[in-house]
Each structure stands twice: as structure tokens, then as C-alpha cells.
Chain A
Amino acid sequence: MAAQISWQLATVSAIREETPTVRSFTLGLPGWQGHRPGQHVDLRLTSEDGYSVERSYSIASEPERSGEVDITVERINGGEVSPFLHEVVVPGDRLEVRGPIGGYFVWEAALGGPLLLVAGGSGVVPLMAMARHRARSAMTVPARLLFSSRTFDEIIYAEELDRLAAAGDGFEVIHTLTRQQPPGWTGFTRRIDEAMLAEALEPLGPATRAYACGPTALVEVVANGLVRLGLPPDRIRTERFGPTGT
């Protein structure tokens, strides 16, 4: 719980495009002590004149991968850090990283389930670490990801989520596309609300542990909705990203 953390130099070993505006970066950290799904790292960029800026990024990868972590970053127009990461950083570059940080918004297999993960946009990142960890832990306790994206092309980790849902180990994904849907779409087409939460929660039951992450407004709706649906508040954990989503 009270872990020592200091700035380390990470080497970017791989960059992967998840969607047209979202990229994942694999950061090699030889001295990395490991992390728990849901935790984040702080990234610090320092320019030649000494000006520095820090941002927090949730760790996307599972702790079972040692010596490196993935972060997934949405490019924010006018942002100070994400455009640099997207347009300038290449494999081999070094970045200052601190972490892992977070003793509250974490889930490990030992905590058990059932598990309800609710994500808005890039809020899916820490929940993906949980889902990947769950898959590696060979857990079969039911888990559902309720995932809100604007359009089909903007669904982060789309193929991997399909694979996880097809694994037959009790993991399901429910998508909602709020702005535009492809032809033939039969899924949800509106913002997450209490009725949708009720549907997602129903087969999981009252012992569910819920994690909600994304823009503050979405997280508020989810947390309040789950409480009204009868989930004990101490089984609902939230990570608000603020209005910008990162």
C-alpha cells in the first residue's frame, strides 16, 4: 500500500495504433517491480528550457507481463502531451515514468467476482488491464464489460475484446455506440443510463464488484445508477478522467 515510487527512465519498445486517434506504447522498464490491474503511471516530459509537464496514464497491460507496461493514449487536440506522444515519439525514445500509483481502483483475481466493468471511451484502459489479467488467471467467474464509444471505428481494443469474449471463460462485452452506428448494428445506441446498467448487472447479481472509468459525467451516472440498483457503495469503485477523457 505505501510503496516507494520514484522517477525511472523507460524505453519505448513498441507503438501500436488502436484507432485513428488512440495509440498504445510499450514501455520497457528493467527495474519494474510489477503492478496491480487498475493502477496508473505518471509520465513527465521536460523540454530543454526546463519546462516540464506531467500526465497520468492508466496501465493497459496485465501484471503477468514483466519488465514492461503498456499505456494507451488518446490524442487530444490542443493537448500538451498526447500530440507529442502520437507525432514525435518513436521506438527507442526514453520517457520519464513514475509508478505504479493507485491503491483503490484496483482489481486482482484474488478479489473474485462477479465483475462489472463500465467504460466510456479511453476509460476502458485500466479495465482492459483487469480483463487481460483475468484471462491470464484462468478465472471463470462471470465478468462483463459495458463499453460506450462514439462510433464503431473508435472502439479501442475492438479485436482483442472480441477474442476475449469468444474465449468461453465467462467474459462478455456489451457495446453501446452513441454517435453513429454501422449498418446492421443491433446493439445499444445511446449513452449509458440506469436501464442499461440494470440489463448489464442482472445476470451478475448483487455480489458484483463494479469498476467504472471514463469522463466524470459518465462515471457519476454509473455510480449513482448502480447504487440505486442496490449495489453496496463499497463494491463500486470509480476513476474519473475529468471532462476531456484523459
Chain B
Amino acid sequence: MDERQQRLTEMREDPAVDLVLDGSAIGGLLANLFGADVTGMPGQCASCQTVHVIGSMRVYTRGPGIVVRCPSCTEVVLRVVETPSGTMLDMRGVAALRFARR
């Protein structure tokens, strides 16, 4: 088994690692929705109240939709699901977002 295969096998066997990415991986997708790059935008987790910039949140792209989790408490902050009529952005895990004044 080559090195990469081995690594993939190890990752699949460890449920905690999964194929996690950082928020910047969906920067373009979120830019489509918000009309601007929001990876530098602070967001407050509704579960633990910690504020993290969106780019630092943990992104999971396996499964039917995209799940974004809080780096502090691992609860779901955002869900993105493509539907036939558009994109659903579930934000019940967000307490607040901070938009900088222009």
C-alpha cells in the first residue's frame, strides 16, 4: 500500500479526523451567496458563544451537504445544501455575524 493510500485508510478509520477543511475552502461558494468574500468575517457560535472568523471554522464536505463546525465546541455553525431551486444556507448555529463598517 503506498503512502497516500495508507494515509487515506488511516483517516477513514479515525472518525475524528474525517476530511476536514478550513473555511477558506468554501470562500468562493459563500461569496456567491453573500456577494462578497466573508472568510474574514467574525461569526459567533450559537452553542458556545465563541467568536471565530469564518475562514477558521472547520468545513466538512462529505455527505449530502456542506457542514461548517465551530473550532471551539465542534457544534454545527452553518449548513449549505444545494436544492433544485437554489442553495439553502442553514444558519441556526450562528448567533451573530459582524460586518465591518465601510
In residues 25-60 of chain B, which contact A (Cβ within 8 Å)? 25, 27-28, 31, 34-41, 53-56
CB pair B22 A56 closer than 8 Å: no
A195 at the interface (CB under 8 A from B): no
Bound Cα distance from A75 to B44, whole angstroms: 38
CB pair B21 A216 closer than 8 Å: yes
Given A54-B28, A56-B28, CB of A102 within 8 Å of CB of B19: no
Given A101-B27, A102-B24, A150-B3, CB of A4 within 8 Å of CB of B35: yes
CB pair B24 A2 closer than 8 Å: no
In residues 191-246 of chain A, which contact B (Cβ within 8 Å)? 215-217, 220, 237-243
In residues 7-25 of chain B, which contact A (Cβ within 8 Å)? 7-8, 10-11, 17, 19-25
- Tell me how many residues of B have a C-beta within 8 Å of chain A: 33
B100 at the interface (CB under 8 A from A): yes
Task: Name B8's closest neighbour in chain A (CB-CB).
Answer: A243
CB pair A217 B7 closer than 8 Å: yes
Task: Name B18's closest neighbour in chain A (CB-CB).
Answer: A216
Partner of A2, one of B8, B10, B55, B99: B99
Bound Cα distance from A220 to B39, whole angstroms: 20
Partner of A105, one of B3, B10, B55, B61: B55
Bound Cα distance from A224 to B54, whole angstroms: 20
Query: Which residues does chain B contribute within 8 Å of A111, judged by CB atoms?
Result: none
Chain B nearest Cβ from A101, distance in angstroms: 4
Bound Cα distance from A4 to B17, whole angstroms: 33
Chain A nearest Cβ from B19, distance in angstroms: 6
Residue with the highest number of chain B CB atoms closer than 10 Å, among A1, A56, A216, A220? A1
Query: Which residues does chain A contribute within 8 Å of B41, judged by CB atoms?
Result: 1-2, 103
* With A2-B38, A216-B20 already in contact, 6 other A-B pairs whose C-beta atoms are closer than 8 Å: A2-B36, A2-B40, A3-B37, A104-B40, A104-B56, A240-B22
Using a CB–CB distance below 8 Å, which chain A residues touch chain B?
Answer: 1-5, 40, 42, 54, 56, 98-105, 150, 178-179, 215-217, 220, 237-243
Using a CB–CB distance below 8 Å, which chain B residues touch chain A?
Answer: 3-4, 7-8, 10-11, 17, 19-25, 27-28, 31, 34-41, 53-56, 61, 99-100, 102
